[in-house]
């Protein structure tokens, strides 16, 4: 939902803008911590990667919703994993 709201960010009321930004910031911070805990880089590189992951997932949600095809979302996430953007096996192994 936040991704769709972010697409219309300029038209949102200020209080909603604050919440949409906070949602993204919270998720990027969490992803950054997960990547750091998995030993996948320093804080700066993990934050960049976290932003990329967050953006990629939001894009996958948008594509799947536009096509009414949840399977497309799953395929895109698998592709991100195969490409190494989402390092699932490394993170699972570190827990």
Q: DSSP H helical segments within the chain, as ranges?
A: 2-7, 14-37, 43-67, 70-83, 88-94
Domain positions in the chain: 2-94
- CA 87/CA 94 separation, integer angstroms: 11
Cβ atoms within 10 A of the Cβ of 76, count? 17
Tens of each residue's pLDDT in the chain, 95 residues? 666 666 677 888 899 889 889 999 999 999 999 999 999 999 999 999 999 999 999 999 999 999 999 999 999 999 999 999 998 765 555 55
Answer whether 52's CB lies under 8 Å from 85's CB: yes
**pTM for this one?**
0.82
């Amino acid at each position: 939902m936040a991704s769709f709201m972010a697409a219309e960010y300029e038209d949102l009321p200020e209080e909603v803008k604050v919440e949409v930004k906070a949602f993204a910031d919270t998720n990027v911070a969490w992803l950054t911590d997960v990547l750091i805990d998995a030993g996948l880089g320093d804080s700066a590189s993990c934050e960049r990667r976290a932003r990329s992951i967050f953006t990629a997932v939001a894009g996958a949600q948008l594509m799947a919703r536009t096509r009414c095809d949840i399977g497309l979302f799953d395929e895109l996430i698998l592709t991100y994993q195969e490409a190494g953007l989402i390092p699932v096996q490394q993170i699972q192994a570190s827990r």
